[in-house]
């Protein structure tokens, strides 16, 4: 294939093309499964290709050499609400070679290849699969070597111009098809060999089915196909949010839903969805923030209404409010894929009531949640957060009505020197002459990634309340869009200061200065060295502090306010399960348990007078609600100058030998 040699566009072992017609990618990998099993998995495209809506084998013709030729019709989902879905008419040829290898080749039937092109289908644009397929070679010691080639032409000219990079990117194709196929086979191989241990007594196949159902339900909502029973509802005059309703549960619910969710006396499912462009926001960073800080965008009253659809007597329709009832979330991990690019979890939303009339609504709720694509180094990866309310029983066939967010990078080629920059906020600590940034990376504004955000929320409704639910859903999605835009502005790299991130407090020092203050104050007050004394230059000091194995943090020191974290090293961020962006939303008293708070209060006057104190071993909690044990905590005053009149800048904390319980 033209232009497929490994080069600057390669994604690990995956080569992507930039010189062929359409988009293309290829890869080679080793797996511990036999060729026939690998071929069976790869031919079952819906099991690993999340964009595949359905695949119909219309005819099978045996060949003289023992192979088969299949006539195939495949429909794929559109990733956004802004362009139509694609479908394919293809021939697939499967045969075996003399050395035991299996070959699966596939290409579209078109007028140029001499075959019937197949009838057009409403709601779909015909795409073309150019020669693609798999070569699966047996290995002497068992297992297989797989060669994968994907090559498609997605008819980019039928797409709005702003979205065309999405359909012209070989990197996105590589992530969605080539890499997805390899990862899925490796996942199955490890499950088969018993290498993966899952908690909660669930079989890996059951958990994988949950992930597929969440993705499929979200794709169904984003696309709203007529043959699933969806129809467009009139707007309120502003076209920013699309409302679709489905009153045909027989068509819609199929295998991944449960008709018990729709009232027996008449009702259906309503979907409110919107797509929007975002500028200069890394998709992985945005989705990670949305996952970790649900309270920044979600409304507790709406969550309550969504959860009530699982009950026989739903609550009345709430009004979307900017804040709603306060709630906190605890994330309980269920499973993750081998390379941690996707994980399934249960989210417990803990309700709190402050008035007697709120008690009925202040109850714990549960969401099944799928998060993927939050590796900031994955080129062309789509980041996604999809969730659905579940009840406490969480049966294997639990009904799911997914909602969520999808963020896809639009620019196919940020090819400047800064194209491969790690977009972790830790990189903002690389300041001063010792930093190793490339010239194209020096200015944050040189990072101009655009991405498209798609939001879809689904609700059940009773017929007599349909208009009320539609109004609530429209208002809620607009509220969520506003919240996401605020978050996006806050975390866009173009707004990152050279100091401590986008939310630097007034007067906050640069990272090098703060590192010097932290270490100097520790030495003055405790008499010990926080870091190795072999080098005290700023760059080395900062790197040692950042990479220290104990969790080192700073928090504000105000007389009339709870201490808020202002800095943490990498171990500190890992312990708190947060990012530098979100760190300043976390208060010290929220992570300490009661014993820890009492201990700190008892020692506080000593810290102010003597400059430091040791706290005994204890338990604290991360921002995700996970308990963390530590052997000892050291607290000291961080002062901000080298003279005797130094002012207290903040409190330094170090949690020694911490670990998740």
Give the contacts of 205 (CB within 8 A, at least 6 positions apart): 191
pLDDT surpassing 80 at residue 252: no
Q: pLDDT category, 34, cuts 50, 70, 90?
A: very high
pTM, rounded to two decimals? 0.69
Q: What is the mean pLDDT of the chain?
A: 78
pLDDT for res 321: 45
Alpha carbon distance 494, 445 (integer Å): 5
Degrees to nearest 5, angle at CA 218 with 323 and 372: 80
Note the CATH architecture for domain 11-193: 2-Layer Sandwich (3.30)
SS3 category, 3? coil
370 vs 500: which has the higher pLDDT = 370
Find, among 411, 484, 485, the residue nearest to 448 by Cα: 411
Q: How far apart (Å, rounded) are the C-alpha atoms in residues 366 and 375? A: 26
Both structure tokens of 624: 């995700």
Q: How confident is the model at residue 540 (pLDDT cuts 50, 70, 90)?
A: confident
Alpha-carbon separation of residue 498 from 373, 487, 614 (angstroms): 27, 19, 33
Q: Contact, 55 vs 42, CB < 8 A?
A: no
Q: Is 70 helix (H, G, I), strand (E, B) or coil?
A: strand
Q: CA–CA separation, 198 vs 305, rounded Å?
A: 32
Q: Which two tokens stand for residue 542?
A: 């900062």
- Give me 583's structure tokens: 């760190």
Maximum average pLDDT range among 434-448, 481-495, 497-511, 646-660? 646-660
Residue 637 Cα distances to 436, 518, 608, angstroms: 32, 9, 7
Strands (E), 300-440: 327-336, 342-351, 365-372, 383-390, 403-409
SS3 320: coil
Q: Is 598 exposed, middle or buried (0-12, 13-18, 19+ CB in 10 A)?
A: exposed
pLDDT category at 364 given cuts 50, 70, 90 is confident
Q: What is the pLDDT of residues 197-243, one digit of tens each?
A: 665 667 788 888 899 999 999 999 999 999 899 999 876 556 678 99
**What share of the chain in percent tops pLDDT 90?**
30
In the chain, the percentage of residues whose pLDDT exceeds 70 is 76
CA 179 to chain centre: 17
d(CA 12, CA 654): 37
Question: What secondary structure letter does DSSP report for 370?
Answer: E
Token digits for 73? 């019709």
Q: How confident is the model at residue 358 (pLDDT cuts 50, 70, 90)?
A: low
Structure token digits, residue 180: 């997805």
Nearest to 104 by CA among 55, 160, 157, 38: 38
Tokens 């080098």 correspond to: 535
- Range 575-589 average pLDDT: 79
Among residues 217, 254, 186, the alpha carbon closest in space to that of 29 is found at 186
Higher pLDDT, 380 or 173: 173
| Distance separating alpha carbons of residues 156 and 411, to the nearest angstrom | 14
Specify whether the backbone of 340 is left (phi greater than 0), alpha (psi in -120 to 50) or beta.
left
**Structure tokens given for 424:** 């972790």
CATH number belonging to domain 204-251+266-315+372-412+448-491: 3.30.530
For residue 372, the cross-strand partners are 342, 384
Are 262 and 268 in contact, with CB atoms under 8 Å apart? yes
Residue 428 is encoded by which pair of tokens?
């903002």
How far is residue 182's CA from residue 450's CA, in Å, rounded to a whole number? 28
Residue found under tokens 């926001």: 281
DSSP annotation string for 271-294: EEEEEEEEES--HHHHHHHHHHTG
Q: Which two tokens stand for residue 35?
A: 């060729």
Is 591 a residue whose pLDDT tops 50?
A: yes
3-state helix, strand, coil in the chain (%, to 5): 30, 30, 40
Q: Residue 293: which of 587, 591, 578, 592 has the closest Cα?
A: 578
Note whether 329 and 348 are within 8 A (CB).
yes
The sign one gets for the Cα dihedral 396, 399, 404, 410 is: positive
Q: Residue 609: which residues within 8 A CB-CB, separation 6 or more?
A: none
Averaged pLDDT for residues 372-382: 79
Tell me which of 251-255, 276-280, 526-530 is least confident.
Answer: 251-255
Question: Does the pLDDT value for residue 653 go beyond 60?
Answer: yes
Residue partners of 261: CB distance under 8 A and separation at least 6: 249, 253, 269, 309, 310, 399, 401, 460
Asked if pLDDT for residue 511 goes beyond 90, the answer is no
In whole angstroms, give the CA distance from residue 73 to residue 86.
11
Higher-scoring residue by pLDDT: 614, 417: 614
For residues 577-596, average pLDDT:
81
Determine the average pLDDT of the residues in 75-93.
94
Domain boundaries, the chain: 11-193, 204-251+266-315+372-412+448-491, 509-660
Q: What does the alpha-carbon distance between residue 388 and residue 385 come to, in Å, rounded to a whole number?
A: 11
Q: Cβ(534)–Cβ(514) under 8 Å?
A: no
d(CA 390, CA 332): 14
Burial class of residue 191 in the structure, from the number of CB atoms within 10 Å of its CB (0-12 exposed, 13-18 middle, 19+ buried): middle
Nearest C-alpha neighbor of 173 from the set 252, 86, 256, 233: 86
**Would the CATH topology of 11-193 be identical to that of 204-251+266-315+372-412+448-491?**
yes
Residue that wins the pLDDT comparison between 18 and 442: 18
Q: What per-residue confidence (pLDDT) applies to 576?
A: 86
The Cβ of residue 524 has, within 10 Å, a number of other Cβ atoms equal to 14
Instruction: Quickly name the fold that domain 509-660 has.
Output: Beta-Lactamase (3.30.450)
CB neighbourhood size of 550 (10 A): 19
Which residue reads 């010189």 in tokens? 19
Q: Residue 527 above 50 pLDDT?
A: yes
pLDDT band at 381 (very low <50, low <70, confident <90, very high): confident
Q: How far apart are CA 23 and CA 129, in angstroms?
A: 10
């Amino acid at each position: 294939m033209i232009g497929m040699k490994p080069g600057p566009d390669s994604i690990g072992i995956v080569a992507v093309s930039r010189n062929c017609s359409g988009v293309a990618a290829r890869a080679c990998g080793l797996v511990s499964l036999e060729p026939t099993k690998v071929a069976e998995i790869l031919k079952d495209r819906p099991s690993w290709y999340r964009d595949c809506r359905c695949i119909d084998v219309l005819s099978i013709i045996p060949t003289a050499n023992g192979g088969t030729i299949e006539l195939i019709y495949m429909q794929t989902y559109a990733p956004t609400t802004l362009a139509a879905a694609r479908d394919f008419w293809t021939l697939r040829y499967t045969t075996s070679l003399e050395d035991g290898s299996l070959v699966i080749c596939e290409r579209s039937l078109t007028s140029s290849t001499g075959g019937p092109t197949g009838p057009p289908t409403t709601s779909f644009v015909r795409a073309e699969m150019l020669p693609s397929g798999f070569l699966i070679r047996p290995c002497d010691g068992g297992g297989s070597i797989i060669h994968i080639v994907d090559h498609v032409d997605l008819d980019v000219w039928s797409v709005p111009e702003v979205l065309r990079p999405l359909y012209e990117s070989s990197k996105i194709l590589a992530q969605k098809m080539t890499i997805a196929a390899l990862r899925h086979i490796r996942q199955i191989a490890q499950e088969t060999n018993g290498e993966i241990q899952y908690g909660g007594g669930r079989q890996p196949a059951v958990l994988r089915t949950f992930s597929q159902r969440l993705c499929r339900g979200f794709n169904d909502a984003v696309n709203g196909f007529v043959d699933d029973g969806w129809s467009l509802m009139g707007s309120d005059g502003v076209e920013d949010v699309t409302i679709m309703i489905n009153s045909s549960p027989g068509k819609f619910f199929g295998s991944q839903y449960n008709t018990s969710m729709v009232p027996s006396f008449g009702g259906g499912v309503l979907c409110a969805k919107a797509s929007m462009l975002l500028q200069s926001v890394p998709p992985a960073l945005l989705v990670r923030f949305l996952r970790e800080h649900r309270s920044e965008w979600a409304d507790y009253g709406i969550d309550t209404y969504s959860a009530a659809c699982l009950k026989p007597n739903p609550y009345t329709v709430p009004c979307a409010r900017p804040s709603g009832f306060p709630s906190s979330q605890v994330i309980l991990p269920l499973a993750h894929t081998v390379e941690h690019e996707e994980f399934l979890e249960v989210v417990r939303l803990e309700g709190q009531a402050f008035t007697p009339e709120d008690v009925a609504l202040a109850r714990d709720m549960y969401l099944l949640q799928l998060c993927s694509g939050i590796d900031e180094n994955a080129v062309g990866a789509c980041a996604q957060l999809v969730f659905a309310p579940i009840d406490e029983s969480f049966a294997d066939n639990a009904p799911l009505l997914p909602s969520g967010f999808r963020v896809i990078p639009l620019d196919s080629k940020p090819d400047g020197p800064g194209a491969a920059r790690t977009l972790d906020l830790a990189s903002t600590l690389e300041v001063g002459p010792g930093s190793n940034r490339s010239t194209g990376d020096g200015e944050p504004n040189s990072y101009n990634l655009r991405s498209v955000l798609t939001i879809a929320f689904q609700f059940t409704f009773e017929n007599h309340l349909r208009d009320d639910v539609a109004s609530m859903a429209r208002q809620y999605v607009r509220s969520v869009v506003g919240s996401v835009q605020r978050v996006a502005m806050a975390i866009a790299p173009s707004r990152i200061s050279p100091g401590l991130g986008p939310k630097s407090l007034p007067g906050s020092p640069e990272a090098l200065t703060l590192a010097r203050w932290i270490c100097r104050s520790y030495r003055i007050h405790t008499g010990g060295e926080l870091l190795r004394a072999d080098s005290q230059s700023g760059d080395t000091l900062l790197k040692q502090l950042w990479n220290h194995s104990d969790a080192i943090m700073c928090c504000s020191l105000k007389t009339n306010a709870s201490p808020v974290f202002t800095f943490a090293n990498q171990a500190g961020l890992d312990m708190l399960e947060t990012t530098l962006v979100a760190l300043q939303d976390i208060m010290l008293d929220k992570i300490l348990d009661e014993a820890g708070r009492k201990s700190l209060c008892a020692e506080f006057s000593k810290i102010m007078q003597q400059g430091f104190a040791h706290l005994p071993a204890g338990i604290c909690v991360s921002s995700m609600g996970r308990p963390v044990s530590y052997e000892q905590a050291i607290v000291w005053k961080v002062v901000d100058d080298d003279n005797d009149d130094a002012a207290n800048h903040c409190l330094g904390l170090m949690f020694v030998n911490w670990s998740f319980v």
